[in-house]
Amino acid sequence: MKFSTICLAASILILSGCKPKEAMVSPISEITWGKDGGKTIKLFTLTNKNGMEVKISNFGAVINSIVVPDRNGKMENIVLGFDSLKSYQGMHPYFGSLVGRYGNRIALGKFSLNGNNYTLAVNNGVNHLHGGIKGFNKQVFQIDTTYSTPDSSVIGLSYLSPDMEEGYPGNLKLKVNYVLTNNNEIKIEYEAETDKPTVLNITNHSYFNLTACKENILNHELVLMADSITPTDTTLIPTGILAPVAGTPFDFTIAHKIGERIDQVPGGYDINYKLRNKTGQLVQAAEVYEPASGRVLQAFTSEPGVQFYTGNFLDGSLTGFNGIKYQQHYGFCLEAQHFPDSPNKPQFPSVVLNPGEKYTQLTVYKFSVK
């Protein structure tokens, strides 16, 4: 073949979009979303072969939107969030964010570890919540990798949290992979290492509304694979006991509408469930069905608990996608995690991470219709 013929053939291949097979299955696109402290913030769009689309940013490792079909194939975003980076940089209740170092509350912002006392920010009444003043939700993550395979698209992010950041000991290296599969799953894989003993409880704080915010979430039907909760005091710190859910409005061992008994729970649900997870392997934690759209969300996790939160503190003051004002109970969270205030509750599964150990967590949100 002459050189010119080879060039012609190559041009035809390029013009006809003949790219490696995997790039065609799940292309990842990106835009520059803005800047934070001089650092460039990207917004990535992952699309699978079914047209499901997930947007993820390296600001706060946030899941910005999740577009899934309803039972008629209508594609809509089913998480609460904002169009602009500026809104995520401002005050909001952790929409879609990666939360850490400690997702949930630590009583009075204090704990001790190996005889050393640590003091954290008190940023929620008298307690510490979700990592402090500038938690991981407000940090810029490094973009380590973005790639597609025939089955999935992957964004790999990392963040190096310096020793004593927000009062937590140890230089902590955190990695998170977001994986969108062709089975309409979002897999969130976390890994962390420290150089000093520390505590760690990472979670994703997405607020779901399977109606795509046409109404609140009280009509959604929920099953939780959990037989007990960690009851709390008035400041939402666990008392330390496990209480069976049987015979209470917290019992979702069989499907109930979220709104069915919510009036019996002052303010709405905001409670940690102990999952039936005995192994630390990936098990199903929850299933949510929304009858009008037919959408189903199944949550799986390797964590021992899940915080079920019904957007009780949303009050219409935040305006999100499509100009929608997020009113009370416009979203629910299934925050896979260790139990709240574990650093002060030796009877709860340990959240201590020591040098030489590897923290791992896998949480999966899977979408379908019925």
The residues annotated with a catalytic role in the active site are 205, 335
84 versus 235: smaller Cβ distance to ligand BGC: 235
Cα dihedral 344, 252, 219, 65, rounded to 10, equals 50
105 versus 295: smaller Cβ distance to ligand BGC: 105
75 versus 122: smaller Cβ distance to ligand BGC: 122
194's tokens: 């420290």
What gap in Å lies between CA 216 and CA 332, rounded to an integer?
Answer: 9
CB of 194 to ligand BGC, least distance (A): 23
CB of 103 to ligand BGC, least distance (A): 7
Q: CB under 6 A: which stretch of 63-71, 226-234, 259-267, 307-315 binds ligand BGC?
A: 307-315
What gap in Å lies between CA 313 and CA 130, rounded to an integer?
Answer: 15
> Residue with the closest Cβ to ligand BGC?
93
CB of 238 to ligand BGC, least distance (A): 12
75's tokens: 């594609």
Q: CB under 6 A: which stretch of 135-143, 283-291, 306-314, 316-324 binds ligand BGC?
A: 306-314
Interaction residues for ligand BGC, span 81-140 (CB under 6 A): 93-94, 104, 130
Interaction residues for ligand BGC, span 176-205 (CB under 6 A): none
CB contact burial 75-92 (16+ within 10 A = b; e otherwise): ebbbbbbbeebeebbeeb
CB of 203 to ligand BGC, least distance (A): 8
CB 77 within 8 Å of CB 209? no
64 versus 127: smaller Cβ distance to ligand BGC: 127
CA distance to 150, 197, 227, 336, per residue, from 286 (Å): 28, 32, 12, 10
Q: Cβ contacts of residue 113 below 8 Å, gap of 6+?
A: 169, 197, 198, 199, 343, 352
Q: CB under 6 A: which stretch of 150-158, 212-220, 274-282, 305-313 binds ligand BGC?
A: 305-313
277 versus 310: smaller Cβ distance to ligand BGC: 310
Under the criterion CB under 6 A, does residue 231 sit at the interface with ligand BGC? no
242's tokens: 């496990």
Count of residues that interact with ligand BGC, criterion CB under 6 A: 10
Q: Cβ contacts of residue 134 below 8 Å, gap of 6+?
A: 166
Interaction residues for ligand BGC, span 269-288 (CB under 6 A): 270
CB of 99 to ligand BGC, least distance (A): 7
Helix then strand then coil, in percent of the chain rounded to 5, is: 10, 40, 45
CB of 217 to ligand BGC, least distance (A): 15
159 versus 309: smaller Cβ distance to ligand BGC: 309
CA geometry: angle 98, 130, 345, nearest 5 deg: 120
CB of 205 to ligand BGC, least distance (A): 6
Under the criterion CB under 6 A, does residue 313 sit at the interface with ligand BGC? yes
In the block, residue with structure tokens 């879609």: 96
For ligand BGC, which residue of 88, 178, 208, 309 counts as binding (CB under 6 A)? 309
Q: Amino acid identity of 325?
A: K
What gap in Å lies between CA 296 and CA 135, rounded to an integer?
Answer: 31
44 versus 95: smaller Cβ distance to ligand BGC: 95
What gap in Å lies between CA 322 and CA 325, rounded to an integer?
Answer: 9
In the block, residue with structure tokens 């009050």: 315
Under the criterion CB under 6 A, does residue 60 sit at the interface with ligand BGC? no
Q: How many other CB atoms sit within 10 Å of the CB of residue 189?
A: 17
184 versus 361: smaller Cβ distance to ligand BGC: 361
Which residues here bind ligand BGC, judged by CB under 6 A? 93-94, 104, 130, 236, 270, 307, 309, 313, 335
